[in-house]
Amino acid sequence: MPGMDGIELQHRIKQIDKNIVTIIITLCRCRYGHTGLKDGAFDYVTKPIDPDDLSRLIRNAIERGGW
């Protein structure tokens, strides 16, 4: 993303509404996945993304969030 990374985007989203559920998509677990979790992301996935795994993760987020 030009001008910001995913962690910055997550910070901006949480400033708008701290209850919004975020899921980080990253190339590796090294920085962004763990930092995203520490900063309030529900979870993260690494690329390449398995569509079935992402679907399960989204269902889990919905179930835990009570939507």
CA distance 67 to 46: 25
What's the pLDDT tens digit per position in 5-46? 888 888 899 899 988 888 988 887 666 667 777 788 898 888
Confidence of residue 57 (pLDDT cuts 50, 70, 90): very high
Find the mean pLDDT for residues 40-56. Answer: 91
Tokens of 52: 């079935």
- Quickly state the pLDDT bin for 66 (edges 50, 70, 90): low
Q: Give the pair of three-digit tokens for residue 8.
A: 């910055």
